Amino acid sequence: MTPRTQTPRAPHAPQTSPTSQTLEKQVTGATIWLTGLPSAGKTTIAYELANTLRAEGRKVEVLDGDEIREFLSAGLGFSREDRHTNVQRIGFLAELLARNGVLALVPVIAPYADSREAVRKRHQSGGTAYVEVHVATPVEVCSERDVKGLYAKQAAGEISGLTGVDDPYEAPESPDLRIESHQQTVQESAAALHALLTERGLTA
C-alpha cells in the first residue's frame, strides 16, 4: 500500500493578547444622571458640558427627558409606577451606551429615591461607572424661571402632579455632586461637573 502524502498545514497564527497600547486606547464610558426639579437647569448644564466633552474628543449623548417621553416612553403617564418605569427604561439605555464607551448625560427629574437607586445598582452590577448629580435649585427659583410654563399652569389649576409642588420630590441625600445653579453661571456649573469627571478619570 502506497502511503498517502499529507499536504503540510500552514502553521496556526499565534494568538495574541491585547497589548498595553491597545488597552490604553479603550475608553471608559459612564452615566451622569442630573436630577432636580423642573426648570432647575439640568438640561442646560448637560448640553453645556456635552459641548465641552465633544470638543475634547469624547463620545457623548444627552438623553433628554422630553425626547425619551416622546420616543421611548410614549403612553406612560405620571403616576409613581409610570415614573418608575420611565426611569428604568432611561437607565437601561444609559447603561448600554456607557458600557460602549459613551458618556451618557441624563438630565431627568427621577423624583423617587428608590427608582434612582435601582438604576445605580444596575450600573454597579455591570461594573459601569455611574455619577449622580443633584441640581439643587430651590422651587422658588424654578417657578420664576418656569422654562416650560409648568408652574404657571399648576398655579392656574390647568395641571396637577407637578414635581416639587403637588407631587413628591425625594432629593438625593448623598449625591456625587450637588450643584446650586442659582448661585453660579451655567458655565461654572458645567465646569464643576467636568472637574469631578476628570478626577474620576472619565474625561480622558
> Per the annotation, does 37 bind a ligand?
yes
Please enumerate in sequence order all residues whose Cβ is within 8 A of that of 161, keeping only pairs 6 or more positions apart, or say none. 78, 167
- Is position 40 annotated in a ligand binding site? yes
Query: What's the CA gap between 101 and 204, in Å, rounded?
Result: 11
Residue 1 domain flag: no
**Residue 108's CATH number:** 3.40.50.300
The domain tally of the chain equals: 1
Q: Is residue 8 part of a domain?
A: no
pLDDT value of residue 91: 97
Tell me whether residue 86 is in a domain: yes
* Three cell numbers, residue 122: 444596575
On whether 8 is known to bind a ligand per the annotation, the reply is no
Residue 47 lies in a domain: yes
How buried is 81 (Cβ within 10 angstroms: 0-12 exposed, 13-18 middle, 19+ buried)?
Answer: exposed
State yes or no: 161 annotated in a binding site. no
The answer to whether position 100 is within a domain reads yes
Q: Which domain holds residue 93?
A: 27-199
Residue 57 labelled as part of a binding site: no
The HSE-up count of residue 125 (CA atoms within 13 Å, CB side) is: 9
Q: Is residue 72 part of a domain?
A: yes
pLDDT in tens, 76-87: 999 999 999 999
Report yes or no on 18 lying in a domain. Answer: no
Residue 124 lies in a domain: yes
As a whole number of angstroms, the distance between CA 113 and CA 105 comes to 19
Query: Is 103 within any annotated ligand binding site?
Result: no
| pTM score, whole prediction | 0.86
Q: What is the mean pLDDT of each run of 10 residues along the chain (204 residues)?
A: 44 46 64 98 98 97 92 89 96 97 98 98 97 98 96 96 96 98 97 98 91
